[in-house]
Amino acid sequence: MIKGIATLLGFQLAGEIAARLAHLPVSGPICGMAALLVWLHVKREVGGELGRVCDGILANMALLFVPVGVGAMSYSGLFAATWPVIALAILAGACATLLTTAFVTRALSDWTGRHATAEGRGKAAVSDSYQEPSTPTNLS
Amino acid sequence: MPLGELMTAPLLYLGLTCGVYVAALEVNRRSGSHPLSNPVLLSVCSLIAILWWARVDYQHYFANVQLIHFLLGPATVALAVPLFRHHQRVRRAALPIVGGVLCGSAAGVLTTLAVCSAAGIDTALTASLSTKSITAPVAMGIAEQIGGVPSLAAVFAVLTGMTGAAFGPWLLSRVKVQTSLERGLAMGTTSHGQGTARILQENEEAGAFAGFAMGLTALGMAILLPLLARLVL
């Protein structure tokens, strides 16, 4: 288990250092995620221990947001004054993002899918024409 | 050790937080995963009630549960694993993924800005709200850069995460969005880590897409939001 944890911390640290040194607009953990992804591609396998640790953390990831969420209590005054706007902004923003993401993804998948099948048909047509010359030999 | 010292030790608050969360998971399971019984929502509300009743201030609580908060970093790194396991599907659908996530983030930000300007909300609050679909640690940095309040941005990010995690799967099913690609991306783009955690329970492939969407949203918004803010805020 400890090897898996050390791997995660190591990549996070590398990500933090890279993000700071290169003044990247992205946070250290996200850089660490990208670095680990590249490393897994190089190794071509996850490895049992790292896999188990990651599955364990990710299965309980929701718990990690609780401490920041409780921070809402420090803004009770602000929430009392503007909660309808905040609630509307959060709900409307979330609906807009959910629906736009899902339907734009679907539209682009359909579009690229059509292109792929059109290409496929093109290739099929070519291979058909290749087979044609062989037909006379079959007949003879 | 006198009993009073327990009040100033992480043990009490870590135990309390984990205990409340486990109880919330149990409530969620028994209610058949009802949207309103979202474990983060239940835990946050219960903990606020307990802390308020016991007159514990938030800074004191947060300092003692740093250990849980710290694990957000390694958990973000860990998202590389489901992503790797499904990388072939991510690569094959690269254009729909990038297009869908960026359009979705933009739609969310524009809707938020429209609501805020219609309600005449001040710039600092608007800026803190505009980063709410970005994972909390990144949202704090961007909010600061565009004139928002980092801690407020973190709270809004978690509130949005909760909202999307609670109602997202239900809404997506209502409009017949069923593939793990579309569901995963929508949840990750809207509700970052919480959406990812929620959709991971549905299936691992959707979780991988959600994790990728979360990273891409953070990256895309880190570049685009400061530019947009210069124009409209």
Q: Is the pLDDT of residue A129 over 70?
A: no
Tell me the shortest Cα–Cα distance from A43 to chain B, in angstroms.
Answer: 11
Residue A34's pLDDT is 87
Q: pLDDT grade, residue A96 (50/70/90)?
A: very high
Q: pLDDT grade, residue A134 (50/70/90)?
A: very low
Helices and strands of chain A, counted as H and E runs: 6, 0
What's the mean pLDDT when you consider all of chain A?
A: 82
Tell me the shortest Cα–Cα distance from A121 to chain B, in angstroms.
Answer: 19
- Name residues whose C-beta falls within 8 Å of residue B149's C-beta, 6 or more positions apart in sequence: B124, B125, B128, B143
Residue A8's pLDDT is 95
Contact status, residue B189 vs residue A122, Cβ threshold 8 Å: no
Enumerate the residues of chain B whose CB falls inside 8 A of the CB of residue A71: 58, 62, 151, 154-155, 158
Instruction: Name the 3-class secondary structure at B177.
Output: coil
What does the DSSP 8-state code read for residue A24?
Answer: -
Residue A140's pLDDT is 37
Distance CA B53, CA B34 (A): 27
Question: Is B132's CB within 8 Å of A82's CB?
Answer: no
Question: Is A101's CB within 8 Å of B103's CB?
Answer: yes
User: CA-CA distances (angstroms) from residue A90 to A99, A114, B63, B186, B217?
Assistant: 14, 36, 28, 15, 17
Q: Which of B33, B72, B64 is nearest to B47 (CA)?
A: B64
Query: Residue A66: which of B17, B121, B186 has the nearest Cβ?
Result: B17
Rg of chain A (C-alpha set): 26
How many residues are recorded in chain B?
233
Enumerate the residues of chain B whose CB falls inside 8 A of the CB of residue A32: 73, 76-77
Enumerate the residues of chain A whose CB falls inside 8 A of the CB of residue B88: none
Tell me the shortest Cα–Cα distance from B149 to chain A, in angstroms.
Answer: 12
Mean pLDDT by 10 residues, chain B (233 residues): 72 95 93 80 92 93 93 87 81 91 96 94 92 86 85 89 92 94 96 90 89 86 85 79
- Tell me the pLDDT tens digit for each residue of B84-122: 887 887 888 899 999 999 999 999 999 999 999 999 988
Among chain B residues, the shortest Cα distance to A14 is held by: B77
Tell me the shortest Cα–Cα distance from A28 to chain B, in angstroms.
Answer: 8
As a whole number of Å, the end-to-end CA separation of chain A is 70
Residue A130's pLDDT is 39
User: CA-CA distances (angstroms) from residue A136 to A20, A88, A131, A133, B161?
Assistant: 70, 73, 10, 6, 67
Distance CA B152, CA B143 (A): 9
Structural element, H or E, at residue A56? helix A48-59
ipTM above 0.90, yes or no: no
